[in-house]
Structure formats: C-alpha cells, structure tokens
Structure 1
Amino acid sequence: MFSLLIYQLLSLLLLPLLLLALLVRSRKQVAYRQRIGERLGWVGIQQHGGIIVHAASVGEVMAIKPIVEGLLKQYPELPLTVTTFTPTGSAQVTKQFGDRVQHCYIPLDNMISVNLFLSTLKPKLLILMETELWPQLIHSTFKRNIPLLLINARLSQKSLASYQKLRWLISPALNKFHRILAQSEENRDRFISLGAAPERVSHSGNLKYDIRLTEALETKVEALRQLPIANHRVVVAGSTHQGEEALIIKAFINVKELYPDLLLVLVPRHPERFDKVQDLCQQHGLAVARRSANDAIGEQTDVWLVDTLGELLAFYGIADICIVAGSFFEVGGHNPLEPALFAKPIIVGPNMANFNDVCEQLLRAEGMVQLKGVQHAPHQQQLHQHLQHELQHLLGARDEAKALGQNAAALLAKNQGAAQRTQTEIEQLLN
C-alpha cells in the first residue's frame, strides 16, 4: 500500500509535466492538444454501466475488432466504450466502429482523473490489452469491485527487465486482475516471474492472428485492383517511421533499375509525417502520387504515398512484396500477420521485439524473410543493401516468393481462435 501511495503522489506531482508533454507533441500532431478534458477524466459520455475496452493505438484497435463485434452482438443492452491513448487510435475507433460504441481517451493515470472517469462510466467490466498496465486505474477499478481482465497480454524480455525494477508497484497491480490472458506460454511465464499468481494467468493465443477477409475488406482490395496498377509490380512498405523511408527508397531506386515497372507504396505510420515523406521522395527524384488527392497512377509514377488512415491492410492485398516497417531501428516492428492474410511474401528488418513470438513462428514456418544487420544509423548502408538484395531475389524468384506467402497464410490459419477463448472469459466475468 505504501508503494501505491508513493505512486499516487508522484503521478499528481508529474501531471503538469505530462500535460506539457502532450502540448509539445501537439506541435507535430495538433490532435494531442484537443480533448484535454478527457485526459483529465472529464468524459462527455451519457451511457454508463457497461463495458470499457482499452486499446492504446491503431494496431490494438484493429486487433480487438473481433472482441468488440462479439460484445456488441452478445450484449446489445450494455453500452460499450472503447478508449485509446493516441489520436490515430481514436480516429481508427471512429472509422472501424462508428457510433456503435462510445469513445474517449483513457485518462492520465492519477487518482483524481481516474476516479472521475470511473465515476462517470460506472463500468461492469474493464478490459485492458497487451502491456497497458496503469497502476492507479487498476487499483481504483479493483477497489470498486469492478472485474478486471488483461487480454492479449505480452511482455518482451526487455520490458520484463524494466518492470522488474518496478516490481514493488507492478506485482500488486497484476494480482488485481481477475484473469490475465497471455499471447503465448513464454509471455505467461514472464508475467508469473513478475509476480502474477500462476492461477490467474493462462495462454489464450494472440488476437492478432484472428484477422479475417471480411466482405468490406475484399471490396476495398478489389477497388484498388481496378486502379491502373496492372502494369506495375508493387512493393508495399507499411507503417514506416522516420529514417526507414530513406533506407527503403535507396533500395527501391537500385532495384527499379532492374525492374522499371516497380511501384513503391509507402504508408507512413504517423499522419504528421505525410508531407515530409513526400518531400523526401521528391528529393530523390521520384514521381509521387498521393492517395488522399486521388492522384492518377501512371507508368511514370514511382511512389504511391498512402496518406490516409486505416487502409494499409487493403494495400497489402495488392502487393507483390510486403515490407513490414517499424522493424529497421528502435521501434520494434509492426504486425507481420496482416500481409500473411493475403499470402504475400513478407520482409522485416532486424528488430521485431514487439512481435518476437509471431516472428519466430513465421521464420520457423519459412513464411517470412528477416534482414540481418545492426539497427543503428551508421549501419544503414548495410541494411539497405540487404533489403535491396532480398527485393531483387524475391522479384526474380516468383515461386519462392509465392511459397513464402502461402506458408505465412497457413500459419495464420493454424493459430486462429484467441478471440473465441477471450470471449468465453468475458462471458464468465459478466454472467
């Protein structure tokens, strides 16, 4: 209890600095200075007494889709609130669920904001996801006798080492969850080593395997195929971060000398970087078409810049090769299972820390290529050469590229089912 009191005091003292950090970040993305009241627990939501599901950002919002759809179908009488932390996650909630769910930001983790938030919504169940361990939110929810569930829980070796230093705070928080549903046995063991009671933690599988080709997605992919890209071979680089576009562009330019019909589809992770990425492409002499402007894709187009939200999955569907970014430097990678849905050959960089389990399974199944190399900036030359080599190889070895994609798709199909297991746990807590 003493450790929690220390945390409560520090979280209140640091609140002005956290608000300042949001304002600083809003210089690049203005949405961070909007709806500040929600960050402080003032949520303009009328319906209460339902379920709260927290998904931090875009990837998590997409992963919880089967859970949210299941809850909407099974408990139509209960208001469902989906919270996020990032503006891009917020936009994805609106895009994916519309007015079928309530939405607001999760409050900053201090006693006043959290209790105001909970007093307004009065939930019957709070569901957190992956690594979203907010001690005050967990404690306040527990004290109100509201069931807590951590789903799709993951804990990398690096995060485990960091959390061990805060064991005095994190271990009590873990044991306030009714259940912790881990992505894998390895993740289950890490939560237990951090202090979670073994009987509270189980391996339910990874929700990110439970992506499916919906009718709406198939329609979107088909619409993209109708655009004049038939004369191009398409490389899609998804969820790129600063520094990665330069590396990918250099490799692309060299490979395009051998394959003049090559089209690079760049999908930056953060909207505030769209213009900078276009400038970077043009500095390299590349002709750019922007998705939001409906620019025509002609034979002279080099780069198709996808400056829209929520369309990456559909663009993977029209690719010949998919590069899953966030994996070349310190970010830790994004979801490689999305291109696997379309049986596409996948290339990732050396750092897939966020998806270690998935990455290892894909590599064992020969369903993905992972580049070797050092992630730090001085070694970008080495990485771009490795990327260039793999692009050239897969474009030339079509049977091998096809086999990679088929192996990835088979692994995806084999590991689905986490959503149903999670749904069963939710039912037990609500009934």
Structure 2
Amino acid sequence: MALFTYRLILLLLLPLVLLLALLRSINHPAYRKRLGERLGFIPRHFKPKGIVIHAASVGEVLALKPFIEQCLVDFAQYSITVTTFTPTGSAQVQKLFGDKVQHCYIPLDIWPCSYLFLRRLQPKALVMMETELWPNLIDQATRAQTKLLLVNGRISNKSLPRYQKLSALISPCLKQFDQVLAQSEDNAERLVKLGASPTSCSSAGNLKYDLTLGRDIKSKQKHLAELLPNNRPIWLLASSHSGDEELILSSYQTIKSKLPNCLLIIVPRHPERFDNVAKIISQHQFSCQRRSTNEKVSEETQVWLMDSLGELMAVLGLTDVVTMGGTFSNIGGHNPLEPALFKKPVIVGNDMSNFTEVYQQLKSIGGIVTLPKYSDSNSLKQALAEKVTTLIQNPESAQTLGENAYKVVLQNQGATQRCINVLTQLLNR
C-alpha cells in the first residue's frame, strides 16, 4: 500500500519535477541536457542483459572505481552500465572510463520512467551503493528477476530515526535485495533494524578504503606539480561547502602573519559554486588565481582556486596540510581516506557523521586532528590557524599523523574483492 501511494504521488508530481529541473537548469545548464535519460529513454545502442551499477555523484564514482574496474575484468561477457544522478558524477564516469562502460543518468523513481529503463536494459544484476534506495526501481527490478546487490551499505545513528519514519516504504525495499553488504557490523545491524533480512545482510568492509593511485591520477599530479611552486608551504581546503571558505580565509589571514609564503588551495565540492567562491576570496582581499587558466601559480598568488573537475586526488599529494570541508557544519564531512592515501595530515571539524567508523579508526591511531565545537567562530578560526601553523612548522609531527592515517587505509582494504565475490555468486545462481 505504501509503495502504491508512493508511486501515485510521484506520478502526479512528475510535471512539477520536470518544471523544477528546468528551473534549476537556468543556472546549471547541465541539468537540462539528456533530460530524456531521466525519463527512462536510454540510448538505443546500449547493450542489454548486463550489469547496472549506480553511483550517485562524484564521491560514489571514485569509491566504486576499483569495483567497476574489476567488473570489467571478471564479467567481460556482460555489458557494464554505470548510472549517476548528478552531472558532475556523469562527467567523472566519462573521464575515468570513457567507452569502456555504458553510461546514462538513472531515471526518476517514477513508474513509467523506471519501467522504460528496465525494459531497455533488462539487467542481470543491479548494484546500488550506500543509501541509494529507490523503492519503485527496486520493486520493478525484483519483479523482472534482476539480482539486487547493495554495496557499502550505511545508515548512521543520526539518520536512523528519519529512515524509521519511512519504514513502510524502506523496509520492503531492503528486503528485496538478494544481498546487503554493509560498511561495518554496526551499519549491518542498523540496516537489519530498518528491514534488511538478517540472513542476507553482512559486513564486507568499506569500499572507500580500496583507493588506488592509477596512471590517470599520477599523470594529473605530474601536470599540477609543474604549475605549483616548490618552495612554498601549501594548505588545502578539500571539498568545501558554503561557509567553509569564510572560516578558512579568516584563519588564513592569521596564518600568513607567521607563514607569509603559505599558499592556500581551495577545492569547492560543487562546480556551480566556483564563481561564487572566487567572489568570496576577492571580498577577503586575497590575490586569487584560477586553475582553469592552466598557468603556473605566481609568487604573488595567495589563493589557488581549483575550478576544475576530478583533480582533488591529484592535488592532495602535493600539499602539506589538508582540511576537509563539510566538517564544520551539518554536512557530515567527506572522505578523509583520500589524503590518508598520500600520508597527509588531516584536520577536520566536529561533524564527521558521514564517516563515523572511518573517523573513529583514524582517531584511535592518532591519524587525524579534530577541532571541537566552539561557542564562537573567532575561537574556531584561531584554533584552526594554530593547528595548521603548528603542522607546517613541525614536519615530523605532520609526517607521523600522515603515516598513522595511511596504516588505517592498508589495514582495511579488501572490500572490493568481497563485493565482487558476492556478485559472482548472485550471477551464477
């Protein structure tokens, strides 16, 4: 009954959804392109009866990269279709895999759209990630006898009550998965509470630990190294959100009193914010150079704005200290394992709810620096400036932090192969 109501409501809202998409495309034209795919009209040349892997956006695409690469090897007899929801995720898929995979947007979770999508692709298996639970698509795939696998499943303690309020819809959806592979035992327990079958839900580890430095990253890193100065300390703000830049730029003003030669690099999380971030930097009266100019960073440049896609991993290895964006508000943070792969010291705010288990492991081994929640912003700015300055001035302490974080990465790898093994079993049934 809940699914029927859900379908009916979304079907009635379809005109409004399309209108909102068109309105959003005024400022973000990418949302207007390939609108047919969101309605379920998949390119005719796509080969059916393969494996569909859904990665919502850039972060998920990067986390699934080793898994997708292994699928291309182990399941060469099947076409591999990678779907995303965001244009930035789409660009990342095309950049990483080109024509090695079929790529399109996942359709809106509305009955006619998902019906057209499934009828065209007729997938043997559908792989979803983390909390990507699309009730209508999952139900229709089950009826079509498609094997369903959820990888890297996670539900935080913070979000569990919200999902429980939708249990009439979420619980049947989780039960339809043939296998649910969670990031950890705690996540597996929470997923079972939400409705996943105890016999088909288990922990396989976190795919985000299986980071690798491929040739594409090394090639980008070499190019970026030629643009960056080799005689200046570098502080990087990774995956910044609204509010992060103001905090970091205010702290940077203090840092420059002790480290006048320090270069700040800012990598916004969303490309639609590039121009706005450039304005914020200008308002703080710092000289800014944009990555898109593809010019060598001058000695006069104080802030380098990375207004490009898919280069965060490459620039991480060229910095001295990394601060993760989205950790000073209610965003929940971003993947601290990426700088850990390069043995870089990482500073975060008090909100790492998206990476609770990862954060706890890093914290327990002394592989991350956490700033507490302060009652006033000035105290936070001062504390951040002091931490960054201390780490840059004490390279041995910074190195110890980075090496401890790298140990956590090495100790937890292997989730990709475990997920591949389960998918193999499902396809052989």
Q: Same fold (TM over 0.5)?
A: yes
Contact 1:45 1:121 in 2 (8 A): no
Structure 1 match to 2:365: 365
What is aligned with 1:165?
Answer: 165
- Cα 1:386–1:24 change in 2 (3 A) is farther
What SS is found at the alignment partner of 1:53?
strand
Q: Quick one: distance in 1 between partners of 2:402 and 2:184?
A: 23
Give the aligned partner of residue 309 of structure 1.
309
Aligned length: 427
Residue in 1 that maps onto 2:30: 31
Cα distance between partner residues in 2 of 1:45 and 1:235: 47
1:34-183 to structure 2, matched below 5 A, reads 34-46=33-45, 47-183=47-183
Displacement of 1:350:
1.4
Deviations 1:213-261 (A, max 9, x none): 2233223223322334111101111111111111111111110110011
For 1:84-128, what per-residue CA distance to the aligned partner results, in whole angstroms no more than 9, with x for missing partners?
001100110001111111111111111111111100111110000
Report what 1:12 is aligned to: 11
Indicate yes or no: 2:196 matched with 1:199. Answer: no
CA deviation string 1:360-402 (max 9, x = no partner): 111111101111115xxx9433332221121122122221111
Match of 1:389 in 2: 386
SS in 1 for 2:252: helix
The secondary structure found in structure 2 opposite 1:292 is helix
**Contact 1:373-1:382 within 8 A present in 2 as well:** no
Instruction: Letter of the 1:143 partner, please give it.
Output: R
Q: Secondary structure of the equivalent of 1:335?
A: coil
Distance (Å, rounded) in 1 between the aligned partners of 2:379 and 2:188 = 36
Q: Helix, strand or coil for the counterpart of 2:53?
A: strand
**Cα distance in 2 between the residues matched to 1:324 and 1:348:** 6
Q: Does structure 1 residue 428 correspond to structure 2 residue 425?
A: yes
Contact 2:227/2:295, CA 8 A, preserved across alignment = no
Mapped to 2, the partners of 1:8 and 1:216 lie a distance apart of 42
In the alignment, which residue of structure 2 is the partner of 1:291?
Answer: 291
Counterpart of 2:418 in structure 1: which amino acid?
R
Contact 2:226 2:296 in 1 (8 A): no
Q: Identify the range of structure 1 (249-258 vs 23-32) with the bigger mean alpha-carbon deviation.
A: 23-32
C-alpha distance after superposition, 1:114-159 (max 9, x if no partner): 1111001111100000100010011000011111000011111122
> Matched residues in 2 for 1:27 and 1:332: separation?
29
> C-alpha distance in 2, partners of 1:177/1:28?
38
In 1, the alpha carbon distance for the partners of 2:7 and 2:317 equals 47
1:292 Cα deviation (Å)? 1.1
- Secondary structure in 2 matching 1:158: coil
Q: Is the 8 A contact 1:289 1:296 kept in 2?
A: no
- Give the distance between the partners of 1:85 and 1:235, measured in 2 at CA: 31
Amino acid at match of 2:190: R
Q: Is the 8 A contact 1:327 1:333 kept in 2?
A: yes
Deviation larger for 231-240 or 12-21? 12-21
Aligned amino acid, residue 41 of structure 1: G
Which residue number corresponds to residue 413 of structure 1?
A: 410
CA shift, 1:430, in A, is 1.2
Give the distance between the partners of 1:228 and 1:87, measured in 2 at CA.
Answer: 29
Deviation at 1:45, TM superposition (A): 4.1
Measured in 2, the distance between the counterparts of 1:383 and 1:114 equals 47
Contact in 2 for aligned 1:341/1:412 (Cα 8 Å):
yes
Tell me the residue number matched to 1:399.
396
- Tell me the TM-score normalized by structure 1: 0.96
State the 1:28 CA deviation.
Answer: 2.9
Report the secondary structure of 1:22's partner residue: helix
Q: Kindly indicate whether the alpha-carbon contact (under 8 Å) linking 1:372 and 1:386 is maintained by their aligned counterparts in 2.
A: no
Following the alignment from structure 1 to structure 2, what is the Cα–Cα distance between the partners of residues 248 and 381?
Answer: 11
Q: How far is 1:16 from its partner?
A: 2.2
Q: CA RMSD in A?
A: 1.3
Instruction: Classify 1:60/1:45 alpha carbon distance in 2 versus 1 (closer, same or farther; 3 Å).
Output: farther
Amino acid in structure 2 at the alignment position of 1:202: S
Output one character per residue of 1:320-352: Cα deviation in whole Å (capped at 9) or x when no partner. 001111111121111100000000000111111
Alignment of 1:250-269 (within 5 A): 250-269=250-269
> What 5-or-longer segments of structure 1 have no aligned partner?
none
CA-CA distance at 1:285 after TM superposition = 1.6
**What secondary structure is seen at the aligned counterpart in 1 of 2:388?**
helix
Cα distance in 1 for residues equivalent to 2:102 and 2:214: 23
Contact 1:204 1:421 survives alignment (8 Å): yes
Does the CA contact (< 8 Å) of 2:56 and 2:83 recur in 1? yes
Q: Secondary structure at the match of 2:242?
A: coil
TM-score (norm 2): 0.97
TM alignment of 1:228-267, pairs within 5 A: 228-267=228-267
1:319 aligns with 2:329: no
Deviation at 1:25, TM superposition (A): 2.5
Q: Confirm or deny: 8 A CA contact 1:233 1:262 kept in the other structure.
A: yes
3-state SS, counterpart of residue 292 of structure 2: coil
Q: Percentage identity across aligned positions?
A: 48
Superposition map of 1:345-360 within 5 A? 345-360=345-360
Deviation per residue, 1:270-293 (Å, 9 max, x gap):
111111111211221211111111
* 2:39 maps to amino acid: L
Query: Which stretch of structure 1 is more off in the superposition, 216-225 or 75-84?
Result: 216-225
